[in-house]
Amino acid sequence: MKIIFCLFLVFNLYAKDIIGSIDKLDFPAFNLENVESRIDTGATNSSLHCTNIEKIDDKFVKCNILGKESFTNKISKIKEVKSSNGISQKRYFIKTQIIILGKTYVSELSLNDRRNMTYAFLLGRDILSQDFIVDVSKKDLSFNLKESIKN
């Protein structure tokens, strides 16, 4: 019995959740649900669409998240980030909660104007490396799980 329990623990320690290439994720701190998200193993950092990004002081940044009301957040770091087109820009990062596959994760996100991008949120390796394997043939696994629990 002890051997079976030990095997169970080992398998669970190394178990990873499967996520598709596209999903709808929730951001409870901003009261946002079903945010269209691209799961991108090529992106180092995760990035959330914001406009009117304005540093208030050394500790806080204010912005409109997904074109909605203005939010003020504590800056977790400021970093030069190179975008997919090769251009570097200074970005503000905040820590916030993201709900993926029914689990809540706290992660750092860069704030970036993504209005010309297809997806409002880019989920990068900073979060993916924690618990996920990406299956590019799948989509909306987190959203579908949430909907099945509701019904």
Q: What was the pLDDT predicted at 98?
A: 96
- Taking only the tens place, the pLDDT of each residue in 59-75 is 999 999 987 889 999 99
State the chain's mean pLDDT as an integer. 89
Q: Residue range 134-146: average pLDDT?
A: 95
* pLDDT category of residue 1 using cuts at 50, 70 and 90: low
Q: What was the pLDDT predicted at 11?
A: 55
Quote the percentage of the chain above a pLDDT of 90. 71
Contacts (Cβ under 8 Å, ≥6 apart) of 45: 79, 81, 93, 108, 109, 110, 124, 125, 126
Q: Is the dihedral of CA 138, 107, 115, 68 positive or negative?
A: positive
Q: Is 70 exceeded by the pLDDT of residue 13?
A: no
Q: What was the pLDDT predicted at 130?
A: 86
- Structural domains in the chain, sorted by start: 17-150 (2.40.70.10)
Integer Cα distance of 134 and 122 in angstroms: 14
Quick check: 24 and 143 in contact, CB under 8 A? yes
Which of residues 142 and 66 earns the better pLDDT score? 142
CA 101 to chain centre: 12
- Taking only the tens place, the pLDDT of each residue in 64-123 is 998 788 999 999 999 988 877 778 889 999 999 999 999 999 999 999 998 888 999 999
Amino acid found at 110: S
Class of residue 45 by CB neighbours under 10 A (exposed 0-12, middle 13-18, buried 19+)? buried
Q: Is 70 exceeded by the pLDDT of residue 12?
A: no
Q: Are strands 103-112 and 46-55 parallel, antiparallel or unpaired?
A: parallel
CA distances 11 to 6, 15, 30, Å, are 9, 6, 35
* pLDDT category of residue 14 using cuts at 50, 70 and 90: low
